[in-house]
Amino acid sequence: MKRLFLIPALICLMMTACQQTPNPFLGEYNTPFDVPPFDQIENEHYMPAFEEGIKQQKAEIEAIVNNPEAPTFDNTIKALDLSGMLLHRVELTFFSFTEAMSNDTLQEIAAEVSPLLSAHSDDIMLNEALFERIKAVYDNRANENLDRAQERLLEQYYNNFVRAGALLSDEDKETLRTINSELSTLSLQFGNNSLAENNAFELLIENEADLAGLPAGVVAAAKEEAAAKGKEGWLFNLSAPSRIPFLQYADNRDLREKLYTAYIMRGDNDNENDNKEIIKRTLELRLQKAQLLGYKTYADFILDDRMAKTDSAVNALLLNIWKYAVPRAKEEIVDMQKIIDREGGNFKLAAWDWAYYAEKVRQEKYALNEDELKPYFSLDKVLEGVFMVAEKLYGITFQQRTDLPIYHPEVRAYEVFDAEGKHLAVFFCDYFPRASKRSGAWMSTFRESYVDAEGNEVRPLVYNVGNFTKPTAETPSLLTLDEVETLFHEFGHGLHGMLTRVDYYGISGTNVARDFVELPSQITEHWATHPEVLKLYAHHYETGEVIPDELIAKMQRAGTFNQGFATTELVAAALLDMRMHELDNLEGFDAREFEKKVAAELGLPEEICYRYRSMHFNHVFSGGYAVGYYSYLWAEVLDADAFDAFVENGVFDKATADAFRINVLEAGASEDPMKLYIQFRGAEPNPDALLRGRGLK
């Protein structure tokens, strides 16, 4: 997931507390590559740094507005793009911490800052004098002699201002300000509630018999987790490395049900962390905003700025996939029910049984056990593998740096070099779960790439965050196949951020259309399990043995196993996102009942839940993916078709890799995304590639 943060903002808030230490944000970092000096940053530093950012960007905006010269690209658009760099610096660090190193104080600061950030964004986007200059440049663009990247940046700023309400009446602008402020607060509350719900549940097992079926490594990790909390027994929680293997292997059906129910009921427990009212209010405000801006629904508003353009285009894609996915899922249900009946289970398959019996089917059909694979996927070897893929494809290399500041002892830092050996970027990775980190995996930056006012190229500081299986006293971190693919996925986002060669902040790196941003990440997953690539990095953590051909063959045969389920739960979540935002009336809306209604209309099998229920759908209500969860499937059409080019020419073919690097990874939003894709592939993508890739057609 490409993680988004709030727009850089001005904060009109005075700080009365005295500073006990110099504020690192307000001076030179004096660190290699200007990496944030994490060890020097205290919570007390944020508000004064935001305050100084206010002064600087306000002065920069005023200088643009009051420039006596006629508006031009350089004195208006480029100047605007370069404004607020101090605020960027503070904000990117602060919100990375609220995601991965959260605590009560940071949450309190965020609650105070978020509406102020929203107000600042509105101050800029609704500045009439500033928009007049932007519009003047836009109207005169034919005479500006702009290159394509400059044209795209100009178009983006003009459209963003219009979509932010620049053409509204003064009264409607004030209404929009109020809406935006409340939405920013609701988004923060939703995320905080989700984190609290994740941390609230623990399953402590004291009877060893209840561990039956669980692999030794999972048991050992649970023992260490309990000991770390000062408890006797084995402790399981809702983090993926704990939850997934428990549901997959634990013989105790009642305990599987208990853990699964806790997971899907997050945010829906009628307690202080309940998100149902936040969802309703968020949807009401989003609809009000869309209609204020001239759209019938919030889906119409969002999609007008995406590759898809319309909800009919999105629905056509999703429902086409749905008609193949659900029948396959029903076949999978039959296979699992046969095992239940054969074993004398005397019950009907339920949602908390799926992972457990799917694993049994996989072992029966393909003789493949996840525990067979994990010894070949130690975290260190997987990292070596993804770095090796990047080097073979794009010529870049990674050198670990122990002298760079890091924000947690588990974080690793690397300097990245281009094919000529020149500095390209800094890459951080943070892969293990902890109570201060939200669930999931994501990529973002501590600094974007751009060319500054003096013409100096500023290279990015990129990071990946995950929640993967932790090492134990006996073994290193041994990843599941899903975790391996997730690591490659987020690294693909990282490549998009690291390889960018666009000069302008607003369109560099991953600052692209939401339904295009997942292409680099999802195509990178293909290399994770390609036989030629596996031979390069999948080595047994104890013996060094290369993964055997027969095990690779099993993986290939099982490659589309359980795709009915996986596709159905994903499409269901994407359609739930769409249906909520296609509403043009929220009267009487109830999130729980609406989910049931959508599931019934779609014919969602009762044995399958949405990948994310709305009450903990962080992508949609706290992560910037509203009317955007379909993007994973939209981009999968692109990535499946794009990887066919590598299959046709060789997975490490230099010409194909160069074309992808130049037209996608380096290009940012410097051109229309479909045009970029066609420049790489020679044609629009073939949608059937997705269905073939998932084994559904």
Give the residue numbers marked as catalytic. 490
In angstroms, the CA 93 to CA 690 distance is 37
* Helix boundaries (H) for 201-310: 216-228, 240-249, 253-264, 276-292, 298-303
Cα–Cα–Cα angle for 396, 402, 406, nearest 5°?
95
Taking CA atoms, 14 is separated from 17, 52, 234, in Å, by 9, 10, 49
Residue listed under structure tokens 């043995």:
545
In angstroms, the CA 273 to CA 195 distance is 9
Burial of 435 per CB tally in 10 Å (0-12, 13-18, 19+): exposed
Going 387 to 521 to 148 to 167, the CA torsion angle's sign is negative
In angstroms, the CA 300 to CA 293 distance is 11
In angstroms, the CA 146 to CA 158 distance is 15
Name the nearest CA neighbour of 219 among 440, 539, 469, 485: 469
Instruction: Classify 31 as helix, strand or coil.
Output: coil
Residue listed under structure tokens 């669930």:
439
Name the nearest CA neighbour of 660 among 424, 408, 393: 393
User: Contact, 73 vs 137, CB < 8 A?
Assistant: yes
Greatest alpha-carbon pair distance for the chain in Å reads: 85
Return the beta strands (E) in 177-225 as ranges: 203-205
Instruction: Classify 308 as helix, strand or coil.
Output: coil
**Residue 616 tokens, joined:** 């903990």
Taking CA atoms, 437 is separated from 101, 330, 344, 351, in Å, by 6, 36, 42, 27
Instruction: Classify 189 as helix, strand or coil.
Output: helix
Name the nearest CA neighbour of 633 among 519, 512, 524: 519
Cα 488 versus chain centre, distance: 13
Instruction: Classify 352 as helix, strand or coil.
Output: helix
Helix H or strand E segment including 417: strand 412-417
Residues 6+ apart with CB under 8 A from 165: 122, 125, 126, 172, 173, 176, 292, 293
User: Contact, 586 vs 297, CB < 8 A?
Assistant: no
Q: How many other C-beta atoms lie within 10 A of the C-beta of residue 23?
A: 18
In angstroms, the CA 461 to CA 466 distance is 17
**Residue 543 tokens, joined:** 């013996």
Q: Which amino acid would we find at residue 637?
A: V
In angstroms, the CA 353 to CA 336 distance is 9
Name the nearest CA neighbour of 245 among 114, 383, 423, 369: 369
Instruction: Classify 464 as helix, strand or coil.
Output: strand
Burial of 363 per CB tally in 10 Å (0-12, 13-18, 19+): middle
Helix H or strand E segment including 428: strand 423-430
Taking CA atoms, 459 is separated from 125, 424, 561, 625, in Å, by 27, 6, 41, 27
